[in-house]
A and B are shown apart, each in its own frame.
Chain A
Amino acid sequence: MSALVAFWSTHRAELGVLLTQHVALVVLATAVATAVGVPVGILAARRPRLSAPLVAIANVVQTIPSLAMFGFLLPVPLVGGVGARAAAVVLILYGLLPIVRTTIAGLAGIDPAIREAGVAMGMTPRELLRHVEIPLALPSIVAGIRVAAVVGVGTATIAAAIGAGGLGEFIYRGLSMVDTTVILAGAVPAAVLALVVDGGLWWAERALRRRRRRSAGAVAAAAAIVVAAGVLASAAGMSRSAGAVVVGSKNFTEQVSLGELLAQTIERDARLPVVRRLNLGGTLICDRALMTGDVDVYVEYTGTALTAIFHRPLPQATTSQAGDAPRAVINEVRELYARSGRTLLPPLGFDNTFAILVRGRDARARGLRTISDVAPIAPRWRAGFGYEFVERPDGYPGLAKTYGLTFSGPPHVMDLTLSYRALADGQVDLIAGDATAGLIQRLDLVHLQDDRHYFPPYDAAPVARAEMLLQHPEVRAALERLAGRVSVDDMRAMNYAADVEHRDVAAIVREFLSRSPRSSGR
């Protein structure tokens, strides 16, 4: 609990921004769903033949899992892609069903005698709707809006996967860090928000059912103010994005830090406004976003780009061309990107490859520096690997062959994050981790050199839309100045500060940039 409070207080500004995004998204989506759903419901109530298929369609939409819906929308032009717009579309689709349904139910529940009284008094159909039918159906309609809004609060947390922001960012970050505090930091406010929305609209609904016209007026006014504020906020958010550079990142800590690094560099050196779409799911989502122009720049790893994006084989690891492998991959990837109008900028300076790690104590005692050094003693050692590393062809099987490694038994398969601790605690003697993991220094682990160059290079480098770079040469200049500036140690330190110390990413990056000299003088 105190860890949670501490996290919130160090991430106060971010929490505020995410909460605002969350609320704006839900309010906007609910407002649009209401504006569409109520007229559709009225139409359907008038024409029963229309209402059955309409409700059926809305039902089907509702059964699509939200993550799948975000996936379907990714390639759709105009409404799809990544960011708040696509998220709003999904939330609107989900909100329509309850609103259409309760509108139909509310209108159907009106006593026919009251409707007849209106007609007999000489009301036109429109007057009847405005003065009698809608006011009487309103409590029921508000009940539908309430359901839509509460569902929206929940679905909006998932929308963080496509870079819509909101409290889901903390949840995704926490999941990727396997850190409950960070998960709770997003989940608790989201739950509270859902309860507040639910309670507020319940109150509105009850006030309307009691037919207190004055409070109904107050409800309507309050709702109008909230909606207007939400629409303004989201409009402001959208208009800001025009003319700004959009920086993306994948959904793990190092990527978020690197996104922040690009963003602050552009703001500081190119003096351009930046929109941050950090935490954008995986590689493919970032790549797609860059293709469609939803994102202008993000940091990719050369090995990942080659295999996951371009489906090319990695260069064969042979000792003869060993030193040239990273350069060869960079050149190949740069060329592949160039064909689709994208530019790979100079690498930042570190290689986030697999790292074979041992305890510092053992390394010093036995003078271990390379993986080859460990091969003779490995048969007496136990190894612990993550699930992925055991399965991948460029993981354990190839490693064992290249170095002739055998262990005392089959490797323990364990969660990657836990394996660092298992090594430090002596449960295993050797693991395969990430080269930039923050825990490496903290737990006094040593990264053995891949002297046979078995692991492909994963040099981190910004990749940008060429069009944006042409428009803003100052962005290119600013990002090129980052070349070689981030060492493995720098990255480990930043990951440590964020993952273990729970410090604010923006502050960590700011500190990093202030320590390294501004090279604009050259």
Chain B
Amino acid sequence: MPDPAIEFRDVSVSRSAGVPVLAHMSLAVDAGVVLALVGRSGAGKTTILKLVNRLLVPDAGSVLVEGRDTRDWEPIRLRRRIGYVLQEVGLFPHMSVGDNVGVVPRLERWPADRVSTRVGELLDLVGLDAKRYAARWPDELSGGQRQRVGVARALAVDPPVLLMDEPFGALDPVTRAELHDEFRRIQGRLRKTVIIVTHDMGEAFALADRVGVLDGGALVAYDTAAAVARSSDARVRRLLDAMAVVPRS
């Protein structure tokens, strides 16, 4: 049995005032699995992502990526093996779409023609016509298109791990549903290890192999989507009840 791709061992993180954000949390994600972490705002979801790519280090316990403590990773190397799709996208406003997607390959000093080939592939992969969109500016795109670019950028150097922080949060429901389909299609081809953070249980069920529910800095559920949906835990039920329902006529 190989090491899990990502593993948290008894991890605790506090804010500067000593308020715990995560308390004694353990969790393992196997390679090629999509994990959705669901919780209310301030439940510590984003903190978990930042622990994985070492934007944060735990106060206690350890986080392992590919079997190795993040403290032992050279941070730049670690981060380039992890794609990161941010809340509100975080595209660089001074770069064209193509340049945004090609950022990490350029940092890795790929030759220019290889970068542009890769940018074309990635834009095609996320469903944007490279010829039309590569030269555009981020502020000329719709929210959904920007999000596709964000995904393409995160996948640029084919990292084994992908972290997504509320990637589809700001989109209208129809666009969001389209992007969910798109995500599943892409994941079907690429088989990345993915952690998605969301406050929407519906989104978690739509995308993930595993669902974790965070509440008050602790993982209160961690199972398959079907098992979490049947949970009787009150903290899980609150999130399930918040899912949109179609009124009966």
Contact = CB atoms under 8 A, between A and B. Distances in A.
B80 A113 contact: no
A124 B76 CA distance: 7
A224 interface: no
Contacts of A113: 86-88, 90
Interface stretch (A13-21, A127-135, A173-181, A475-483): A127-135
A114 B93 contact: yes
A122 B77 contact: yes
Contact of A121 (B88, B96, B104, B137): B104
Interface in B84-113: 84, 86-88, 90-96, 99, 103-104, 107
A113 B96 CA distance: 18
A120 B93 CA distance: 17
A488 B91 CA distance: 78
A136 interface: yes
Nearest to A120: B84
Contact of B107 (A117, A127, A213): A127
Nearest to B84: A120
Given A116-B55, A127-B107, A121 B94 contact: no
B103 to A, nearest CB: 6
Contacts of A121: 79-80, 84, 103-104, 107, 153
Interface in A387-413: none
A211 B93 contact: yes
A116 B49 CA distance: 13
A119 interface: yes
Interface residues of B, number: 25
A5 B86 CA distance: 63
Contacts of B95: 135, 213
Question: Which of A121, A131, A135, A213 has the most chain B CB atoms closer than 10 A to its own CB?
Answer: A121
A123 interface: yes
B90 A116 contact: yes
Interface string A208-236: 00010100000000000000000000000
A211 B137 contact: yes
B70 interface: no
Contacts of B84: 117, 120-121
Given A120-B53, A122-B107, A114 B90 contact: yes
Contacts of B90: 113-114, 116-117
A135 B103 CA distance: 14
Interface string A101-117: 00000000000011011
Contact of A120 (B77, B86, B94, B99): B86
Scoring B76, B104, B153 by chain A CB atoms within 10 A of each residue's CB, the highest score goes to: B76
Interface in A290-337: none
A213 B91 CA distance: 15
A118 B55 CA distance: 11
A10 B35 CA distance: 83
B94 A122 contact: no
A135 B79 CA distance: 22
Contacts of A118: 92
Interface string A483-517: 00000000000000000000000000000000000
Interface in A79-97: none
Nearest to B88: A113
A113 B76 CA distance: 18
A119 B86 contact: no
A131 B103 contact: yes
Contact of B92 (A119, A122, A132): A132
A135 B80 CA distance: 22
Interface in A28-77: none
A403 B120 CA distance: 100
Contacts of B93: 114, 136, 211
Nearest to B154: A121
Contact of A119 (B55, B104, B107): B55
A121 B107 CA distance: 10
Nearest to A212: B137
A258 B229 CA distance: 100
A117 B96 contact: no
Contacts of B104: 121-122
A259 to B, nearest CB: 53
Contacts of A114: 90, 92-93
Interface in B49-80: 53, 55, 75-80
A122 B153 CA distance: 13
Contacts of A131: 92, 103, 107
The 9 closest A-B pairs by CB, nearest first: A122-B79, A117-B90, A122-B80, A120-B84, A135-B94, A122-B76, A211-B94, A113-B90, A121-B104
Given A121-B84, A122-B80, 20 more contacts: A114-B90, A114-B93, A116-B86, A117-B90, A119-B79, A120-B55, A120-B79, A121-B80, A121-B103, A121-B104, A122-B76, A122-B78, A122-B107, A135-B94, A135-B95, A211-B93, A211-B137, A213-B94, A213-B95, A213-B96
22 contacts: A113-B87, A113-B88, A113-B90, A116-B55, A116-B90, A117-B90, A117-B91, A117-B92, A118-B92, A120-B86, A121-B84, A121-B103, A121-B104, A121-B153, A122-B76, A122-B80, A124-B76, A131-B107, A132-B92, A211-B93, A213-B95, A213-B96
